[in-house]
């Protein structure tokens, strides 16, 4: 497997990638796929790569510690990607984009074995890109207009989002998503590895509420983690550009 630069040195500063905030979920597939030619056999296998977050691991301190990143990205996310590659290698799922893989393996609610790893690989990348150093604040522009239109006010949206994240029992995620058919925003909570892609929605923002996401920093104080996420970590630029891509 082609080594990612950051694989072994967990403290390296990650170079900010171009166009991260300008990406819709479509372009994630391009970054996570890498084709490697096996020596001698002439076979092309597609392997997903673990991409680093678009900021150094200590960039979100003190709100999300570098220690959390060490485990959350360096172990959990890495394991999902590695295990996914193992599961699809040599099967008919090999060569698909990550989004296609998620939809195919979701299998309309009767998920195939690769679904969990595929979805979690996607979810985590989406999550890192939903945050930024000196994040938080409030959205603006078209995003704020839509939030006001569909939730009444920004504060109401925040309340609903926080409640969804706090009441997702067990492991899961909370999302702000765009429903393309109704052309409306919605707050959605999903268990375990599920995400709004399988519902036909376009995800705009997510927070990971698996315990591993906040345990080192907050132990069982999930509401505090959620508040800090909203106040200090959310990247409204990322959300806005995702919305732009979704409504284009």
Instruction: Take residue 105 and report the two structure tokens written for it.
Output: 């393996």
> Is residue 37 part of the contact set for other proteins (CB under 8 A)?
no
> Is residue 217 part of the contact set for other proteins (CB under 8 A)?
no
> Is residue 191 part of the contact set for other proteins (CB under 8 A)?
yes
> Is residue 219 part of the contact set for other proteins (CB under 8 A)?
yes
Residue with Cβ nearer other proteins (180 or 191): 191
Helix (H, G, I), strand (E, B) or coil at 44: strand
Residue with Cβ nearer other proteins (71 or 154): 71
> Is residue 149 part of the contact set for other proteins (CB under 8 A)?
no
Least distance from other proteins to the Cβ atom of residue 173, Å: 11
169-188 binders of other proteins (CB under 8 A): 169-172
Cβ 70 vs Cβ 58: under 8 Å: no
Residue with Cβ nearer other proteins (88 or 185): 88
Helix (H, G, I), strand (E, B) or coil at 46: strand
Contacts of 219 (CB under 8 A, 6+ apart): none
State whether the Cα torsion 88-91-94-99 is positive or negative: negative
The CA distance from 104 to 107, in Å, is 5
> Is residue 83 part of the contact set for other proteins (CB under 8 A)?
no
Of 188, 220, 181, nearest in space to 123 by CA: 188
| Site residues, other proteins (CB under 8 A) | 8-11, 70-71, 74-75, 116, 169-172, 191-193, 210-212, 215-216, 219-220
């Amino acid at each position: 497997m082609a080594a990612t630069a950051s694989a072994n040195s967990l403290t390296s500063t990650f170079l900010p990638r171009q166009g991260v905030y300008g990406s819709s979920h479509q372009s994630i597939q391009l970054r996570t796929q890498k084709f490697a030619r096996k020596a001698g056999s002439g076979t092309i296998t597609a392997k997903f790569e673990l991409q680093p977050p678009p900021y150094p691991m200590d960039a979100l301190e003190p709100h999300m510690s570098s220690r959390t990143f060490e485990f959350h990205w360096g172990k959990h996310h890495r394991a999902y990607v590695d295990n996914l590659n193992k599961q699809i290698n040599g099967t008919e799922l090999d060569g698909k984009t990550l989004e296609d893989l998620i939809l195919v393996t979701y299998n309309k609610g009767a998920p195939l074995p690769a679904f969990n790893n595929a979805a979690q690989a996607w979810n985590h990348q989406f999550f890192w890109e939903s945050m930024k150093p000196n994040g938080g604040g409030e959205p603006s522009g078209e995003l704020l207009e839509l939030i006001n239109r569909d939730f009444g006010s920004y504060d109401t949206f925040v309340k609903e989002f926080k409640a969804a994240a706090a009441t997702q029992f067990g492991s899961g995620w909370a999302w702000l998503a765009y429903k393309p058919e109704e052309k409306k925003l919605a707050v959605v909570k999903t268990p375990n590895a599920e995400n709004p892609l399988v519902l036909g929605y376009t995800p705009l923002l997510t927070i990971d509420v698996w315990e591993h996401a906040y345990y080192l920093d907050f132990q069982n104080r999930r509401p505090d983690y959620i508040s800090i996420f909203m106040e200090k970590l959310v990247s409204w630029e990322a959300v806005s550009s995702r919305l732009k891509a979704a409504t284009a």
